[in-house]
Amino acid sequence: MRLRGKKDDTVRKVLLYLFYLLGSCLMLLPFFWMISTAFKPDAEIFTVPIKWLPSSFHGQNFKKAFQVIPICKYMLNTVYIAVLKIGGEVFVSALVAYGFARFDFKGKNLFFLILLATMMLPYEVTMIPTFIMWTYLGLSDSYVPLILPAYFGAASFIFFLRMYFSTLPVEMEESMVMDGASYFQIFYKLILPLTKPALLTIGLWAFLGTWNDLLGQLIYINDPAKYTIQLGLASFSSMTGETLWGPLMAASSVGLLPVVFLLLFAQKYFVEGIKMTGIKG
């Protein structure tokens, strides 16, 4: 009986490892194919049957990619938007979340319900009127519409942080009140330092949201000098007339580098956030 159980376990383990290996190959195939294409000369890209690896590593496609679009400039533009956005978004979301977590006031539950509703519902409806509003303010071809709304907090971050703040013990805050500290001082000097990991998590989410966003950037930014990396990649083929797969794969590889680094070095923060709330940002 016991022996059979052990044998079953081994079979199961072998099958699962096979599943992991096969699954991983499928997951990594797009990136393998992207990088392999990026390093191939045209003669090796357009062959049947395909060549899995370039015969020698060939840098031409990267050179060409940087000529077609200023990749570094576009990545810096994206970072610029993200940096200006994240500080405000994290700070204000924390402020609002603290209000929801620690105070009682009239209509609080109703406000929170509205907040939850805004997390899922009216984006497509508000998109065009908001665009028209920014156009009338003369700010449509600028980063302002992408950055400024963040300074009023983001519903999903507020939701997450409220949950996080509610798990903290109140004793320290109470003793600071006794010592005459104001609530804002408590928030600034106690809560913010204490919850750094959670703030880092939402900061990373905010960065990722900015880096991977296409629709918002597409709507507001027209001037190619202001393009972000997503817009640069999306317009790559129209810049070259026909699709140059080699340079395009080279550009995509470079554009993905920052998020690959995030995956490798900051995964634990993303995952912690999910474990806390069951939401993925």
Number of residues engaging other proteins in binding (CB under 8 A): 93
Question: Does the footprint of other proteins cover residue 29 (CB under 8 A)?
Answer: yes
Q: Which of 170, 172, 214, 239 binds other proteins (CB under 8 A)?
A: 214
For other proteins, the binding residues in 74-133 under the rule CB under 8 A are 92, 95-96, 98-100, 102-106, 108, 111, 114-115, 118, 120-133
Nearer to other proteins, 143 or 187 (CB): 187
| Sequence letter at residue 135 | T
For other proteins, the binding residues in 238-267 under the rule CB under 8 A are 245, 248-249, 252-253, 255-256, 259-260, 262-264, 267
Name the minimum Å distance from CB 242 to other proteins.
Answer: 13
Nearer to other proteins, 50 or 76 (CB): 50
Question: Does the footprint of other proteins cover residue 178 (CB under 8 A)?
Answer: no
Q: Which of 183, 188, 200, 240 binds other proteins (CB under 8 A)?
A: 183
For other proteins, the binding residues in 54-83 under the rule CB under 8 A are none
Question: Does the footprint of other proteins cover residue 31 (CB under 8 A)?
Answer: yes
Q: Give the Cα separation of 154 and 118 in Å (integer).
A: 10
Name the minimum Å distance from CB 124 to other proteins.
Answer: 4
Name the minimum Å distance from CB 134 to other proteins.
Answer: 11
Name the minimum Å distance from CB 103 to other proteins.
Answer: 2
Question: Does the footprint of other proteins cover residue 1 (CB under 8 A)?
Answer: no
The answer to whether the CB of 244 falls within 8 A of the CB of 260 is no
For other proteins, the binding residues in 134-163 under the rule CB under 8 A are 135, 149, 151-153, 155, 158
Name the minimum Å distance from CB 57 to other proteins.
Answer: 19
For other proteins, the binding residues in 2-21 under the rule CB under 8 A are 13, 16-17, 19-20
Helix H, strand E, coil C: the string for the chain is CHHHHHHHHHHHHHHHHHHHHHHHHHHHHHHHHHHHHHCCCHHHHCCCCCCCCCCCCCCHHHHHHHHHCCHHHHHHHHHHHHHHHHHHHHHHHHHHHHHHHHCCCCCHHHHHHHHHHHHHCCHHHHHHHHHHHHHHCCCCCCCHHHHHHHHHCCHHHHHHHHHHHHCCCCHHHHHHHHCCCCHHHHHHHHHHHHCHHHHHHHHHHHHHHHHHCCHHHHHHCCCHHHCCHHHHHHHHHHHHCCCCHHHHHHHHHHHHHHHHHHHHHHHHHHHHHHHHHCCCC
